[in-house]
Homo-oligomer: A and B are copies of this chain.
Amino acid sequence: MSNSIELRPIGLVRSPVTTSADDIWGGVCSRIEIDETMFTPDCLLGLEQFSHVEIIFHFDQAAEDEICRGARHPRGREDWPQVGIFAQRGKNRPNRIGTTVCRLLGVGELSIEVGGLDAVDGTPVLDIKPYMREFAPRGEVHQPQWATELMAQYWNQE
């Protein structure tokens, strides 16, 4: 259907969380170190005026042979319905991309500090975008009960 796309990480996550985890992300403070061979500090100019950033990253620790292309129970929980991989946000997904809106805690020379990034130490970062209010969902949001249950503890602190 279409050709492959080659990306290059713009930086790496430095996090106190070193192994895959479910429900501990709320209190995590991470640093994103930007590749100094590719960028100069002006790539972050003005970012400090935003309260939040969207981090796009690569779940590189998800094994290729565990990637789901069909449906499964989220987290293997059989009391939740079987849903398609594009109806859940788990890491074992085609292209293994994660996106999370984080609180921006600080901007350094070629690094940023963020709160609540659900990516383990060493995760390659593909992009950083400022969060703008206008990119919030337009119209009323609803979601199934299983998603609300799954997320209930997600931002808990360890």
Contacts and interface: CB of A to CB of B under 8 A. Distances in A.
Interface in A72-130: 81-89, 93-95, 97, 99-101, 103, 116, 124, 126-130
A19 interface: no
How many chain copies does the complex carry? 2
B143 A130 contact: yes
Contacts of A53: 86
Interface of A: 1-12, 26, 35, 37-40, 42-47, 49-54, 56, 58, 60, 69-71, 81-89, 93-95, 97, 99-101, 103, 116, 124, 126-144, 147-148, 151, 154-155
Contacts of A43: 69-71, 84-86
